[in-house]
Amino acid sequence: MSRTPVGRTKAAAAVAVAAALVTACGGGGGGAGDDKVKLSIGVFSDFGFTNLIKEYQAAHPNVEVEQRTVKMEQHHTQLATQLAGGRGAADIVAIEEGNIAQFRQSKDKFVNLADHGAKELESRWAPWKWNQGTTDDGNFVLGLGTDMGSLALCYRRDLFQAAGLPTERDEVGKLWPTWADYLKVADTFTAATPGVKFVDTAQNVYKAILDQTEEGYFAKADDSFIAGTNEKVADAFELAASLGEKKQTSALTPFSQDWNVALKQASFATTTCPAWALALIKAGAGDEAAGKWDVAAAPGGGGNWGGSFLAVPKQGKHPEEAYELAKWLTAPEQQKRIFKETGNLPSEPAAYKDPEVTATKNEYFNSAPVGEIFGNSAENLKPTYRGTKDAKVTPVFNNALSRVETGKQGTAESFAQAVQEAGDAVK
Amino acid sequence: MTVAPERARAGRGVDPVPPARRPPWRDRLDRWDTRYTPYLVVAPFFVVFGVFGLYPLLYTAWVSLHDWQLVDGAERFVGLANYAELLSDENFWNALVNTISLFLLSTVPQLLAALGLAALLDRGLRGRSFWRAGVLLPNVISVAAVALVFAQLFGRDFGVVNSLLGLVGIDPVDWRAETWASHLAISSMVVWRWTGYNALIYLAAMQSVPKDTYESAMLDGASRWRVFWSITVPSIRPTILFTVVVSTIGGMQLFVEPQLFDPGGTATGTGGNDRQFQTLVMYLYEKGFRLFDAGYSSAIAWMLFLLVLVVALVNFALTRRIASKG
């Protein structure tokens, strides 16, 4: 063997496809003798399922549920190799909104939940959310929606005050009805406090703007690649990049280790925050920043960012039981409780319009009425069409923005390179 | 030849039985034993190698001849098209150049430092075993932990290295955006991890160099420096070549350090926002596991395999020539 663990990784990469197939016929053994139904559920970050699973097991003594959590990027890669190999995937798997289109292509590896009666549940979800989880004109139900990521903008009250800007969330929201206004606020802020960056990263601003348009990199009609011709993409890129060119961003990779450190050091004043991001900001900024962060309405109205689905891979042994559990976990009553526990916004109107949810305040964020803010944002939400190859293209444009932020390239040059690279990636 | 052990065995008995009275099938069994048992004993390695080494290698070759989507499998047979595309792929050449650059930047200083370290450890130090075990310590620590720590050290805004540079008036370096800076940072990780390991190998070789050679050189008035370069280094030449070969193979497959140094991690896998430090294995990973293009990814794997093979053969030839001189 090679002396380095690197060798192992390389070998794993090179042979994963093969090795998985070698063992594919082996079968999983299976726990004979025990007549309990063993289910596993594969998630990333915090879905808020832990307590619910305990409750479900108590109500169903014949079911045993194991939760497996890995990091988001690994989760989807791992799922792909498990599907390819024909074994190893959990009985229920979470799939993120940005990745679901990619897995829709491989729908024959998943159970059609419509066969188990999922179609009757359709009215539970916001129509766009339901449609994202289905294919074949709604006849194939791939996944049941969990949360969604309606958009807001988080800001540091103390830094806004130091820059002479208003600090109350209603007034802050009024500062930026559009993204162009947001840029103006950035200029005002930078002029007053040049030592602090206005926003963490151009990438998130770009994604937020793009998520407010109907089409992004791919055409809704035929899934063709249109990033080079869609003016919305170029406009969003230019707008976000201009923050980078003026050095008003911290040029961070979103949610990276450096991003956490910068949060702790209070080195930027605003960040785009979908509902699920509140937990990340709180974790990164720590207790000493309690009450300093606040939540305001996002420029340009609502947009969707993130949110997941629960799907059932075909290789599982208990599709019926898996479906029952997924159905229960995504039901409005359970989703409501998850919101109160983790802040993940439900995608069912019955849940996000529930008075209990709309009355929820987040103490850490200066007691912001998050239920109301995100619920309202969800109402106006028009989701962007995600192409089948969206997940391949997104990093290319993020890299391009990062090149502008770090001063390696100008906006136009970087964008041209990104369109070229993205075109190659979807060939 | 085969009779000797039988006699020894028979000799252990209280009253020796004449060999002629043994049944002939026992003789045959003994012959088989001596002839075939060694094969049986080494077989497990080859069986394991066949299953986990050779089979995947051949299977990867098969995959590389197809348009192969990771999840859905083969779409169509394309022959050598993946390889043809690879040879005109800028990103592939970029990854190759990065790999070679990282390899040189990490292996050369690493082996030189190891040589020096070994020479120091070879002298009569107090607490010898403590120092000798100590140099191996970096190698024992998980590479993921090492990469995390180094990523922090080389942070742009709040990194230790930049603040130290600031003390001597050097502007902060964006370690992940500049090609040379990123290569230096990653190489420092590799050097830190492997120097001690190689030093111990050199030390073992140095201890077998006859001490009287040193003594006579000293008597002739040679300096320590001269003795080191004229006696120590030539005496352990085969060992040096061994470490060069092993480091080369390791260097060509560099993956974890640069991958974890990339703030985008496996989510992008491009090794910086303009592929500044993407190595071949990172490119393989990006194509296969992020873009799900298993066919192309397998082609990269095979190119890498062939490259390592060529480098290993060159090394082997050099080893034979230089070692026989010694």
Tell me which of B82, B175, B255, B262 to substitute to probe the interface with A (most A C-beta atoms closer than 10 Å).
B255
- Which residues of chain A neighbour B301 with C-beta distances below 8 Å? 10, 13-14
Query: What's residue B311's pLDDT?
Result: 85
3-state secondary structure of A182: helix
Tell me the nearest-neighbour CA distance from A101 into chain B, angstroms: 13
Domain final residue pick, A323, A343, A359: A359
Domain final residue pick, A314, A331, A359: A359
Cβ-defined contact of B71 to A6 (cutoff 8 Å): no
Minimum-distance CB partner of B253 among A7, A103, A262: A7
Residue B17 maps to a domain: no
Query: What's residue A341's pLDDT?
Result: 84
- Which residues of chain B neighbour A108 with C-beta distances below 8 Å? 72
Residue A380 maps to a domain: yes
Q: Name the residue of chain A whose CA is nearest to B179's CA.
A: A408
Residue A286 maps to a domain: yes
Assign residue A101 the CATH number of its domain. Answer: 3.40.190.10
Tell me which of A1, A6, A421 to substitute to probe the interface with B (most B C-beta atoms closer than 10 Å).
A6
Q: Name the residue of chain A whose CA is nearest to B153's CA.
A: A258
Tell me which of B62, B289, B291, B297 to substitute to probe the interface with A (most A C-beta atoms closer than 10 Å).
B289
Tell me which of B143, B180, B193, B292 to substitute to probe the interface with A (most A C-beta atoms closer than 10 Å).
B292
Residue A4 maps to a domain: no
Residue B326 has pLDDT above 70, yes or no: no
Residue A379 tokens, joined: 């109402």
Query: How large a percentage of chain B has pLDDT more than 90?
Result: 49
Cβ-defined contact of B289 to A77 (cutoff 8 Å): yes
**B51: containing domain:** 27-64
Tell me the nearest-neighbour CA distance from B32 into chain A, angstroms: 31
Query: What's residue A31's pLDDT?
Result: 42
Residue B8 maps to a domain: no
Residue B124 has pLDDT above 80, yes or no: no
Question: Do residue B37 and residue B99 come from a single domain?
Answer: no
Tell me the nearest-neighbour CA distance from B219 into chain A, angstroms: 41
Residue B276 — pLDDT band, cuts 50, 70, 90?
Answer: very high
- Which residues of chain A neighbour B270 with C-beta distances below 8 Å? 395, 399
Residue B12 maps to a domain: no
Over the stretch B146-169, which tens digit does the pLDDT of each residue have? 888 998 899 888 899 999 999 999
3-state secondary structure of A290: coil
Q: How far apart are CA A384 and CA A394, in angstroms?
A: 13
Question: Do residue A228 and residue A161 come from a single domain?
Answer: yes
Question: Do residue A180 and residue A244 come from a single domain?
Answer: yes
Q: Name the residue of chain B whose CA is nearest to A394's CA.
A: B268
Model-level pTM?
0.84
Question: Do residue A92 and residue A128 come from a single domain?
Answer: yes
Residue A21 maps to a domain: no
Cβ-defined contact of B56 to A14 (cutoff 8 Å): yes
Query: How large a percentage of chain B has pLDDT more than 70?
Result: 91
Question: Do residue A216 and residue A271 come from a single domain?
Answer: yes
Query: What's residue A9's pLDDT?
Result: 43
Query: What's residue A206's pLDDT?
Result: 96
Over the stretch A123-161, which tens digit does the pLDDT of each residue have? 999 988 999 999 999 999 999 999 998 889 999 999 999
Minimum-distance CB partner of A73 among B68, B73, B266: B266
Residue B16 — pLDDT band, cuts 50, 70, 90?
Answer: low
**A264: containing domain:** 150-304+364-426
Question: Do residue A127 and residue A217 come from a single domain?
Answer: no
Minimum-distance CB partner of B273 among A6, A21, A406: A406
C-alpha dist (Å) from residue A98 to A104, A309, B47: 11, 11, 43
Residue A13 maps to a domain: no
- Which residues of chain A neighbour B201 with C-beta distances below 8 Å? none
* Number of domains within chain B: 2
Cβ-defined contact of B55 to A18 (cutoff 8 Å): yes
pLDDT beneath 50, residues of chain A: 1-33
Residue B10 has pLDDT above 80, yes or no: no
